[in-house]
Amino acid sequence: MNDGPSAPVFEVRGVSRRFGATQALDEVDFDLRRGEIHALVGENGAGKTTLAKITAGTLRPDAGELRLFGDIYSPRRRADGSAAGVAHVRQQLSLVRGLSVAQNIELGRPRPQAGRRPWPRRFKSASARAEVERLAEELDLNVPAEELVEDLPLAVRQQAEILISLAWGARILVLDEPSSALGPLETEVLVRLCLRLRDEGTPIIYISHRLGELAELADRLTVLRQGRVVVAGADVADADMHQLAELMIGDISLLEVQRPRTRAGEVRLDAVGLKLSVEHGAGLKDISLQVRGGEIAGVVGVAGNGQEELAGVLSGQVRPDSGTVLIDGSDVTGSTARAVANGAALLPEDRSAGLATSFSLAENVIARRVGDPVFASWGVRRMRPVRRHARSLSERFEVNPPEPDLPARSLSGGNQQKLMAARELEIDPAVLVASGPTKGLDPHASRAMRDRCWETARRGGAVVLISADLDEIAELAHRVLVLSGGRIIDRFPTEEMTSARLGAAMAGLRIEEGDDVSPQGVDS
Amino acid sequence: MSKLGEITFWTATISGGLRLATPLVLASLGETISQRAGVLNIGLEGFMITGALTSLYVAVETSLVVGLLAGALAGAGLALLMTALCVRLNANQVVVGFGITILGIGLTGYIFRLTTPLGGERRQIDIAEEIRIPGLSDIPFVGEAFLSNSAITWLAIGIVPVVWWLAQRTVFGLEVRSVGEDPDAAYARGVNVLRVRSVATLISGFLGGLGGAAITTAMVGVFEPAITAGRGFIALIVIIMVRWSAWGVAVGSFIFGFSEALGTNLRNIVSDEVPTEALAAIPFLVALIILVVGARRARMPKSLGFNYIPDR
């Protein structure tokens, strides 16, 4: 084995893994060298996460071989991976939420096999806390040791998990879509942390489908498509991102799409003086906004600054402490029933909140219309029209497969999102509240969702697009509202969106003057 | 009613309360561990009654200590069945739990009938004497009421801090909480979820069986069908009301035991005009109110009752 500076520390040779009928990985080769960040990119379902799990020891491959620092590496469970120095930070993070960071550092911690300690091992809270604090200081992170994980913002949980990996003696780090739920500032912190870890000797496998962020981060890049390697370890410095995007998708380039702006008409959504205090999160502190028919208002901000609360209140799911929400002049404050009756549609960020995943496609699709005489007579469901309707609607919204009787949970994330859109947007809504509609989706599915939002506006709906994806905002929104600490602290036409202005607003450096509640920058 | 003012009435009621609380403390401490690990063990009553019969029958042939141990192991044996079905084979915890309760009551009743001819003599054992702490047990009132207990009661009191320590000060305690809160995350952190849940369930069976054994071997001296009289279910209530805390379990169990002793002792002193049933019920009502008001902060293990299937 070559021990030079670019010798592989981790190697994958001919690894395959099948789930039922799906070949998730098909004879994949991959290698990670000393001192590099190696990006693993691909669409949803390309096999990135499967490879990460196999690397970590959570899954076993059907065939193929792994080598770690030259030795055969065949972990049988997650603990074997940790003990060998492989850390895997999952997309849905894996710190136990009901425990503190200091408690999580001891939980599952690998121990040297020799000299087994007596059972039960004592948990020494003081030394665990000291260890977290020492590492946090070393890494220049603000990770509180004693707070419960569930009370920490997502970005901090992620930092805590990386910190714990290092405490456990990680020799290689696998980060699965680490930036997908982060705002721009948080992503910057993450990128700095990754570069620093790399320079200090921990190579990183960085999984992403945001090609844009890889340029400043990754050294090499491997592209997976449908379980196969299509680009193997190319140098990022020489790579043509547009070409890579094409390889990843297999067809059209998706970068820098220009959208014609839709025409704005009458005010359809009118929210005044919304206030809400919540236990966790920023709540809402006197938010007013108006959105016209045909207009898309983009709401941005660092995650956890009131986005969730705003989506809940605007869609009638949450009753604000004070303030009103009007749709076409009707008061729908705090009532989903009235909101729906007045044509409100909601695409929530959490798909499991928007779908009954154990119910079938057909049942989900007609959920807003269960009492409709077309679908029920005398309280008995008429299955044939329901199925027919579900199939045609699924086809129209490109839900794949469009099988009415499949349970919704058997669909991929992107298709679940499309199914939700099919139900919500079947009848042109007056108001659409879309919260992170493309979060975690591959470019294809994202495209379809953006089309839906745009189409809704074109047909005269007022759209509130809450998104952490600034490209999405730039592409779709007429104007931008910046949320910080539960307030709208800046608003401007999309054309004026610059990273300097956004960054300042998101960091809370700007306070909105006066009580200006009128929408600005509406093109008409 | 004049006896209510007498100090001997209260010392008797308190020491009786401790005695009656003993099986409850043991059973609910074990159940606290299994519930914290996410295993809702409704079969506790079954563990207890099986432990009750086994321990008495073994103790009659051998000795008190061997009998208690046998009762605990019998409970652990049933817990092994629960582990196999629920933790490993993914059966529904509620269904299996009730099954184990019915099995325990039915089987012990059957064995009792087989071994006790009609009109014949029941197996019987002398109840162990009180253990008095020299000096301390002679303190007026406190010594009589709180510090003169049978060995099994002292054992139950001694196990409380052990369980607390296990839950709060050991890595095993963290593992137990993590698999009960968020088994998916715990698994991803490298915790062997199924093993932790199995161990927790076995501990629950062991202490449940010991709790049952305390009734027959240490308190009553005989077995009769359904002698546990729903204590396994009361233990479940205690745990929920004290929010899965070891010290809470001790206090909650004592309140129940004290209420029961109070009800019994009141029946002996008040005259006929008050129905005994009403008297028997009032203390429980009081206990419920105290427990509900006294324990507020809800923090149920999030995955309590849900099986975990690792994806491979």
Question: Do residues A469 and A383 share a domain?
Answer: yes
Residue B130's pLDDT is 75
Q: Which of A447, A481, A504 is nearest to A256 (CA)?
A: A447
Residue B301's pLDDT is 85
What's the CA gap between A105 and B56, in Å, rounded? 46
Domain total of chain B = 1
Distance (Å) from the alpha carbon of A477 to chain B's nearest alpha carbon = 37
Question: Do residues A274 and A245 share a domain?
Answer: no
Residue A516 main-chain phi, psi, to 5 deg: -65, 110
Distance (Å) from the alpha carbon of B119 to chain A's nearest alpha carbon = 50
Supply the CATH number for residue A397's domain: 3.40.50.300
DSSP 8-state class, residue A407: B
Contact A466, A438 (CB under 8 A): no
Interface test with B, best of A106, A107, A148 (most B CBs within 10 A): A107
DSSP 8-state class, residue A316: T
Residue A2's pLDDT is 46
Question: Do residues A239 and A292 share a domain?
Answer: no
Interface test with A, best of B164, B166, B174 (most A CBs within 10 A): B174
* Start-to-end CA span in chain B (Å): 69
Identity of the amino acid at B105:
I
What's the CA gap between B211 and B231, in Å, rounded? 9
Whether A520 is covered by a domain: the verdict is no
pLDDT band at B230 (very low <50, low <70, confident <90, very high): confident
Query: How many Å separate Cα B179 from the centre of its chain?
Result: 23
Contact A475, A259 (CB under 8 A): yes
Whether B127 is covered by a domain: the verdict is no
Residue A432's pLDDT is 94
- Indicate if ipTM > 0.95: no
Instruction: Give the CA distances from residue B150 to residues A393, B15, B23, B75, in Å, rounded to whole numbers and listed in that order.
Output: 73, 10, 12, 22
Measured from the Cβ of residue A272, the count of other Cβ atoms closer than 10 Å reads: 16
Contact A489, A512 (CB under 8 A): yes
Does A123 contact B173 at a Cβ distance shorter than 8 Å? Answer: yes
Per-residue pLDDT, averaged over B184-199, amounts to 91
Sign of CA dihedral A467, A470, A471, A477: positive
Whether A419 is covered by a domain: the verdict is yes
Question: Do residues A181 and A271 share a domain?
Answer: no
Whether B84 is covered by a domain: the verdict is yes
Compare B311 and B255 and report the one with higher pLDDT: B255
Are β-strands A22-33 and A8-19 bridged in parallel, bridged antiparallel, or unpaired? antiparallel
Structure tokens at B213: 């054994």
Which stretch of A78-82, A353-357, B278-282, B291-295 has the lowest confidence by average pLDDT?
A: B291-295
Residues of chain B neighbouring A102 (CB-CB closer than 8 A): none
Question: Do residues A236 and A279 share a domain?
Answer: no
Longest Cα–Cα distance of chain B, Å, equals: 70
Q: Which of A103, A189, A108 is nearest to A153 (CA)?
A: A189
As a whole number, the mean pLDDT across chain B is 87
Residue B27's pLDDT is 95
Sign of CA dihedral A291, A294, A300, A306: positive
HSE of A234, CA atoms in CB hemisphere, 13 A: 18
Structure tokens at A393: 């609607």
Domain total of chain A = 2
Q: Would you state the torsion angle of the CA atoms of residues B239, B244, B247, B251, taken in this order, to the nearest 10 degrees?
A: -20
Contact B194, B88 (CB under 8 A): yes
Q: Which structural domain range is residue B192 located in?
A: 2-117+151-294
Whether B142 is covered by a domain: the verdict is no
Contact B48, B231 (CB under 8 A): yes
Give A272's strand partners.
A324
Residues of chain B neighbouring A98 (CB-CB closer than 8 A): 177-178, 181-182, 299, 302
Residue A393 is inside which H or E element, if any?
A: helix A383-396
pLDDT band at B47 (very low <50, low <70, confident <90, very high): very high
Question: Do residues A245 and A279 share a domain?
Answer: no
Q: Which structural domain range is residue A282 located in?
A: 267-506
B75: left (phi over 0), alpha (psi -120 to 50) or beta: alpha
Residue A119 main-chain phi, psi, to 5 deg: -100, 140
3-state secondary structure chain B: CHHHHCHHHHHHHHHHHHHHHHHHHHHHHHHHHHHHCCCCCCCHHHHHHHHHHHHHHHHHHCCHHHHHHHHHHHHHHHHHHHHHHHHHCCCCHHHHHHHHHHHHHHHHHHHHHHHCCCCCCCCECCCCCEEECCCHHHCCCHHHHHCEEEHHHHHHHHHHHHHHHHHHHEHHHHHHHHHHHCHHHHHHCCCCHHHHHHHHHHHHHHHHHHHHHHHHHHHHCECCCCCCCCHHHHHHHHHHHCCCCHHHHHHHHHHHHHHHHHHHHHHHHCCCCCCHHHHHHHHHHHHHHHHHHHCCCCCCCCCCCCCCCCCC
Q: Would you state the torsion angle of the CA atoms of residues B136, B138, B144, B147, taken in this order, to the nearest 10 degrees?
A: 20
- The pLDDT tens digits of the residues spanning B128-155 come to 777 777 777 777 777 777 777 888 898 9
What's the CA gap between B286 and B292, in Å, rounded? 10
Residue A280's pLDDT is 64
Whether B284 is covered by a domain: the verdict is yes
Residue A257's pLDDT is 53
Supply the CATH number for residue B26's domain: 1.10.3470
Whether B224 is covered by a domain: the verdict is yes
Identity of the amino acid at A355:
L
Partner A contacted by B178 (CB < 8 A): yes
Whether B280 is covered by a domain: the verdict is yes
Q: Which of A227, A333, A233 is nearest to A276 (CA)?
A: A333
> Which residue is it, tokens 């098909």?
A26
Whether B146 is covered by a domain: the verdict is no
| Predicted structure pTM score | 0.73
Question: Do residues A335 and A308 share a domain?
Answer: yes
Question: Do residues A243 and A273 share a domain?
Answer: no
Residues 6+ apart with CB under 8 A from A353: none
Measured from the Cβ of residue B193, the count of other Cβ atoms closer than 10 Å reads: 25
Residue A44's pLDDT is 65
Sign of CA dihedral B293, B295, B301, B305: negative
Residue B134's pLDDT is 76
Partner A contacted by B58 (CB < 8 A): no
Question: Do residues A86 and A198 share a domain?
Answer: yes
Interface test with A, best of B163, B170, B177, B178 (most A CBs within 10 A): B178
What's the CA gap between B262 and A517, in Å, rounded? 67
Residue A425's pLDDT is 87
Question: Do residues A173 and A126 share a domain?
Answer: yes
Contact A394, A419 (CB under 8 A): yes
User: Which residues of A lie closer than 8 Å to B, measured between beta carbons?
Assistant: 58-60, 77-79, 81-82, 88, 90, 93-99, 103-104, 106-110, 119-123
- The pLDDT tens digits of the residues spanning A264-308 come to 788 999 999 999 987 666 789 899 999 999 999 999 876 678 888
- The pLDDT tens digits of the residues spanning B102-120 come to 999 999 999 999 998 877 7
Whether A261 is covered by a domain: the verdict is no
Residue A104 main-chain phi, psi, to 5 deg: -65, -25
SS3 label, residue A284: strand
Whether B136 is covered by a domain: the verdict is no
Per-residue pLDDT, averaged over B68-78, amounts to 96
Structure tokens at B29: 């401490």
Using CB atoms, which residue from A59, A94, A123 is nearest to B174? A123
E-only strand ranges, A277-309: 284-292, 296-300
What's the CA gap between A130 and A134, in Å, rounded? 6
HSE of A65, CA atoms in CB hemisphere, 13 A: 5
* Start-to-end CA span in chain A (Å): 67
Structure tokens at A453: 């939002």
Are β-strands A172-176 and A86-89 bridged in parallel, bridged antiparallel, or unpaired? parallel
Identity of the amino acid at A480:
V
What's the CA gap between A345 and B115, in Å, rounded? 71
pLDDT band at B311 (very low <50, low <70, confident <90, very high): low
Question: Do residues A228 and A316 share a domain?
Answer: no
Partner A contacted by B33 (CB < 8 A): no
Residues of chain A neighbouring B308 (CB-CB closer than 8 A): none
Compare A179 and B253 and report the one with higher pLDDT: B253
Residues with pLDDT less than 50, chain A: 1-2, 114, 251-256, 510-524
Chosen domain end from A218, A249, A280 = A249
Question: Do residues A245 and A271 share a domain?
Answer: no
Omega before A401 within 30 of 0, i.e. cis = yes
